Amino acid sequence: MQSVEELRDILSQLQEELKSRREQAAQSELLLSGIESLLSTEAGSDPFAIAFQSLGCILQHDDALALVAERRTEARGKSGDDLLCVSATQKSALGRRVQPDKILKKVLAGRVASGLAGAASPIVTGEDRAALYLPINFGETRGIVVLWRNADKDGFGRQDIALGRRFAPLTNQALSMRDRARTEETNRMLRVQSRELEKQAHFDTLTGLPNRIKIDMILEDAIANGGADDRFALAFLDVNKFKRVNDYYGHEIGDALLLSVAERLNTHLGEGDVAARISGDEFLLLIRSVPDRAELGFFIDHLAEVLSNTHSLRGFLIDASSAIGVSRFPEDGTDQVQLRRAADMAMYRSKASGGALPVIFDAGMAHELTAKMELETRLHDAIEREDFVPFFQPKIDIRNGALHGFEVLLRWRTGEAEYTAPGAFLSTAEEQGLLDRIMFQAVRKLVDDLPLLTGRFGRKVKLSINVTPTQLKDREFMKRLLALLSSAELRGRLVLEITEDEALDVELFRTHIQPELARNEILVSIDDFGTGYSNLAQLAALEAYELKIDRALIAGIHRDPAKQQIVSMICAIARNAGEKTVAEGVEDPEDLDFLRHHTAVDMVQGYIFARPMPLADLLVYRFPDAAWDKPAHSA
């Protein structure tokens, strides 16, 4: 039987053990609170600042700072550690450095220490106070958190040191967990952003279809991995009269039409086929599901029929067919360039026939394509030789036969005294991006020849230059053109001839280009008026100087009442708008006589007076006397 003393000893031990367990439980709660604070704090990316903040709920202190070890190289190649203050309760300590003493070196090695403030005390103001040093490591970076208590308070005791010893390794683990979590979240966000960037880079934002870049990659892969027996087709698709839909119904309906076309393509293409939107109203189709040529013809015909069915778009019924040109791999080409050229030529053949019927590239077009490629080579060579020159055709005042000005026309010098008109090369030059270079070459020669023109015909004679709707929309091109023309003495003498067709963006021209033309005193002429896309509402917005009546309305006018009525209406419209009229393509004396005596046309231009000619011929040319024996019509 145990004595009373022995029982008291046992009870005392149990009480001590209970006290110890209570202390451990309290420490564990404090540690848990600290770790939770550490994991949830938004202290940025500095792990030592995070540990510094989380200590506030574990160990009471009056001042604290966090030090990070930085390696330094001393004289004679020796190295050591500096400690940089990265967080502190006293902001004046931030950024200051200390060299570690014995205590700090032990702490850097992983020990928890306590005592009076040592080497760290100079960077925190105040008298010597009790300090607790905790090692904090993050990856390969070592650090120390130093806590101080004021002299009027108890120092750091055994329990504080024990708590610090438990806190330090748990903090290191928690920081690593936090970093992994942050890394995983960062990686997740990067993956999301990468997918979004991939989508933006490779897919059309309106239709969701692959864009030009993506379809190029897909097509390149199909060609590279195509075996001897692999067959596929490439189809260019262009929505007919799309700009007219935009102009009449607005861009929202135009976008809805493109979406409708994309949806129909996705619905009716076969497995493995790909539809891509490569520009405004142009699509490119990679067709793998129909390798047989005969079946391909039926497939494309059906697709064209589906696309031409009426589109119901926000209350409007829109009829919009599509021109489709098709090439086949490997018959029509074994690389992207060959296949695209063939499909492009077939599509333009489709458009030339009205745009409703698809065209599959064939042997006849192959010869045409070869000739086109040879023409491209010759155009490049001609640009290098500067073979593009201006020609001049006079515009004559119909009232008295006086010279009013010249239309400056482009010609290609193809031999000694041999010149080719633009109709033979213009479309190819524009497709290959050569037209701007060709035009600038001719305009520079015009500027160089201006003193001779002025000396021969005077300063009142006007000069008209043609620009395409595509060039007119290109603000950089127009900026360069105006800079070149403004270098010459052409103010008030230059007329810019534009064709008012589907490609002309009237709003862009009116708001951005015409004010610049006005500042440079450059006039505007509407070419080929009276046929095609003539739009009176948009004509009013252009504020033109003159209208040029298309030659189709002039030829045979003396015997065609319908043409007479149309020309009379055009003259009335122009007169009311304060614009002059020019009759183009006048070749018949009877037509000239009718225009003089029965219309209000202001000027005439055509072979009856002179064909277009180079400057050398123009300077010595004698204009034939016209029979102005009868008074001209007066309106």
Which has more pLDDT, 594 or 627?
Answer: 594
- 288-291 long-range CB contacts below 8 Å, 24 or more apart? 288/222, 288/232, 290/233, 291/231, 291/232
The pLDDT of residue 634 is 46
Q: Given this model, what pLDDT does residue 533 score?
A: 54
**Alpha carbons 82 and 88: distance in angstroms, whole number:** 17
Q: What is the pLDDT of residues 33-84, one digit of tens each?
A: 555 555 555 544 555 556 656 665 667 788 888 888 887 766 555 667 788 8
pLDDT of residue 173: 67
**Token pair 């595509």 in the structure block, residue:** 470
3-class DSSP state of 29: helix
- pLDDT at residue 250 is higher than 60: yes
Domains parsed from the chain with CATH numbers: 33-182 (3.30.450.40), 212-361 (3.30.70.270), 386-620 (3.20.20.450)
For 138-143, which contacts have Cβ atoms below 8 Å and span 24 or more sequence positions? Answer: 138/47, 138/48, 138/172, 138/175, 138/176, 138/179, 139/176, 139/179, 141/47, 141/68, 141/69, 142/68, 142/69, 142/108, 143/48, 143/51, 143/66, 143/67, 143/68, 143/69, 143/86
User: How confident is the model over 160-185, as a mean pLDDT?
Assistant: 68
Instruction: Provide the 3-class DSSP secondary structure of residue 464.
Output: strand
Sequence-ordered list of residues with C-beta below 8 angstroms from that of 560, at least 6 positions apart, any chain: none
Neighbours of 586 (CB within 10 A): 24
> Of 193-207, 435-449, 547-561, which range is least confident?
193-207
DSSP calls for 564-580: HHHHHHHHHHHHHTT-E
Per-residue CA distances from 348 to 68, 323, 431 (Å):
71, 8, 11
pLDDT value for 306: 94
Bigger pLDDT: 127 or 5? 5
**198 CB contacts (<8 Å, ≥6 apart)?**
none
Find the mean pLDDT for residues 267-282.
Answer: 93
Q: In sequence order, which residues have a C-beta less than 8 Å from that of residue 209 and are 6 or more positions away?
A: 203, 262, 265, 266, 275, 276, 277, 283
Which helix or strand (DSSP H or E) is residue 133 part of?
A: strand 130-138
Cis (ω within 30 of 0) for the bond into 330?
A: yes
- Whole-number Å distance between alpha carbons of 98 and 82: 6
Q: What is the pLDDT of residue 629?
A: 47
Dump pLDDT digits (tens) for 287-339: 999 888 889 999 999 999 999 999 999 889 999 999 999 999 999 999 999 99
Helix spans in 225-335 (H): 242-249, 251-268, 293-308
Structure confidence at residue 540 as a pLDDT band (50, 70, 90): low
**CA pair distance 338, 65, nearest whole angstrom:** 71
Task: Determine the 3-state secondary structure of 527 from DSSP.
Answer: strand
